[in-house]
Amino acid sequence: MKVLGISGSMRKDGNTAQIVRYILAKVQTAGIETEFVSLADREIKPCTGCEKCKETKWCVIEGDDWSAVAEKMLEAEVVVLGSPTYYYDINGQMKNLIDRTYSFYHDRKLAGRNAVAVTVCADRGCERSLETIEGFLNTHQFSYLGHVCGKAYLPGEIMTDARAVRKSDEAARKIINLLQPHD
């Protein structure tokens, strides 16, 4: 698949999910294949720091959904990575997903892919969430297409944040230009 959108929120249809899906919907109008993954209904265990992945080059933890999501990331040309802000940073589920991609760092499996970072907070802290996601993207040598920092509290409020919607339109346009440069 070309463009993979991931929402780390445990609210299946929360603000992060809605704004990530909004970007994917825009991209789809250009005939580009997209897929949306919510981590809300997935079990993603935390990294144990065992360092075995230095040899196996894949996370050795079994019995959860990490590998299925990680495989989708490897298949994607563009990843739209979204997280709600919990205590001025990304939420635990998204952090678990990211931490276990350490197993891909040893041979730079994710390098060369493109990414858009999406964070949502009610009031303050989404900039730091963004820094965390950017740290992940830089470490793995993604090309960075841009970010959306949205303000919203209750599920659905994000779509009334005009700036976030505008930034999402921009992000979608960049993805389309990247994947269909002649259109």
**Closest Cα to residue 80, out of 135, 34, 138?**
34
Q: Say if residue 31 is exposed, middle or buried (CB neighbours under 10 Å; 0-12, 13-18, 19+).
A: exposed
Q: Work out whether the CA dihedral 106, 75, 32, 90 comes out positive or negative.
A: negative
Q: Is 102 near ligand FMN (CB under 6 A)?
A: no
Q: Are 170 and 27 in contact (CB under 8 A)?
A: no
* CB closer to ligand FMN, 85 vs 96: 85
* Contacting range for ligand FMN; rule: CB under 6 A; set: 64-72, 81-89, 139-147, 161-169: 81-89
Q: Is 85 near ligand FMN (CB under 6 A)?
A: yes
Q: Is 40 near ligand FMN (CB under 6 A)?
A: no
> What pairs with residue 94 in β-bridges?
none
* CB closer to ligand FMN, 32 vs 158: 158
Crossing angle for the helix pair 162-179 and 15-28, nearest 10 degrees?
A: 40
Identity of the amino acid at 36: F
* CB closer to ligand FMN, 8 vs 179: 8
Q: Is 153 near ligand FMN (CB under 6 A)?
A: yes
Distance (Å, whole) CA 169 – CA 164: 9
* CB closer to ligand FMN, 83 vs 114: 83
* CB closer to ligand FMN, 55 vs 123: 123
Site string for ligand FMN, 41-80 (x = CB under 6 A): ----------------------------------------
Q: How many residues does the chain have?
A: 183
Identity of the amino acid at 101: T
Q: Which of 15, 96, 101, 103 binds ligand FMN (CB under 6 A)?
A: 15
**Sites of contact with ligand FMN (CB under 6 A):** 9, 11, 14-16, 84-88, 120-125, 152-153, 155
